[in-house]
Amino acid sequence: MTLALANRAIGAIIGSAVADAAAQPLHWVYDLQKLQGILEQDPNPEFRSESANPFYRRDTGQQSCYGDQAFVLLESLSECGGLNVEDLKQRIITFFGPGSEYDTPINDPYRERGGPRPQLPIEGPWRQGSLKGFLKNVDAGKEETGCENDCQIDGIAKLAPIVAFYAGQPDMLEKVEQATRVTQNNDACVAETLAAARFLEHFILNGPDPKVLDVVLGQLSDPNRKQPQDLDKAVIGHIHQVKENLSMTPRQLIPTVFPNT
């Protein structure tokens, strides 16, 4: 591995962790008017000292539930010299399971809906749906531990360590899918995560490239592509939608393209 390539791989991991920590105080602020008010007061909200997260509160600089998953994956890859699914499962159980910082009443995987509403935001981290599903599948003794009905951003958010480790290797996408399905055994999530892995690998191997959207579209359209998914055509459609809206800022894009978000 050349020095430049190694630096880009390391940069992907560090950049992912820093970005997660920088955004954590504004994580899950779905009220666009509230978010607009925050940004008017502070147009550079990175590492905001006062959390505005409506669901949970952690000290500024700490990771979100997504960044913590990336850390666990990085630790497993480092200790095992590559992806070891069983080791990864055990580390996830230790970090997010019984007796962990994430093990609180509101984060109980078996907490019934319709009960008393918790007082939000909670102090401490939030254990989201895929991790709750994972823990329940582990408890049930299932070999396939991934949550089947969760297709949130977890797979993409924790992507950097495994793409950095396997970038340029023929089994990179296979390893990404295996790691993703440990906690999210959902085809839509896997298809989107594999597309994101293609983007990140291209940047690690080649550096900045304004034509990266077309490069990945070409890969996804190749009938002989690696790790093909039934939903790749849908992902291609999503990428074309991105191309069509590149001129819009996030503030313009969200209410226009996602009016019900």
- For 145-191, the pLDDT digits (tens) are 999 999 999 999 999 999 999 999 999 999 999 999 999 999 999 99
Domain with 69 in it: what CATH number?
1.10.4080.10
Please give the pLDDT value at position 126. Answer: 97
**Within a domain: residue 149?**
yes
What angle do helix axes 187-206 and 212-221 make, rounded to 10 degrees?
130
Q: Amino acid identity, residue 225?
A: R
CA 179 centroid distance within chain: 12
**Within a domain: residue 70?**
yes
- CA pair distance 77, 162, nearest whole angstrom: 7
For 108-236, list the strands marked E by DSSP. Answer: 122-123
Please give the pLDDT value at position 261. Answer: 58
**Within a domain: residue 240?**
no
| Contacts (Cβ under 8 Å, ≥6 apart) of 96 | 68, 72, 102, 103, 127, 131, 134, 135
Residue 11 belongs to domain spanning = 3-187
User: CA end-to-end span of the chain, whole Å?
Assistant: 43
Please give the pLDDT value at position 118. Answer: 82
Please give the pLDDT value at position 250. Answer: 82
User: What sign results for the dihedral spanned by CA atoms 257, 233, 160, 176?
Assistant: positive
**Within a domain: residue 128?**
yes
Distance set, CA 99 to CA 103, 104, 105, 108, 224 (Å): 6, 9, 12, 11, 46
Please give the pLDDT value at position 132. Answer: 97
- CA pair distance 251, 234, nearest whole angstrom: 25
In the numeric block, which tokens belong to residue 8? 């880009």
Please give the pLDDT value at position 255. Answer: 82
Is the peptide bond prior to 121 cis by the omega test (within 30 degrees of 0)? yes
Compute the average pLDDT of residues 131-143: 97
In the predicted model, what is the mean pLDDT of the chain?
95
142/259: higher pLDDT = 142
Compute the average pLDDT of residues 28-34: 91
Confidence of residue 113 (pLDDT cuts 50, 70, 90): confident
pTM for the whole structure: 0.94
Q: Would you call 142 helix, strand, or coil by DSSP?
A: coil
**Within a domain: residue 228?**
no
**Within a domain: residue 238?**
no
Burial of 79 (0-12, 13-18, 19+ CB in 10 A): exposed
- CA pair distance 14, 56, nearest whole angstrom: 24
List the beta bridge partners of residue 57.
123, 124
Least confident window among 16-20, 84-88, 242-246: 242-246
- CA pair distance 21, 19, nearest whole angstrom: 5
Evaluate whether 204 touches 8 at the Cβ level (below 8 Å): yes
Confidence of residue 43 (pLDDT cuts 50, 70, 90): confident
**Within a domain: residue 13?**
yes
Q: How many CA atoms lie within 13 A of 102 on its CB side?
A: 21
**Within a domain: residue 211?**
no
Please give the pLDDT value at position 251. Answer: 79
The count of domains in the chain is 1
67 pLDDT exceeds 70? yes
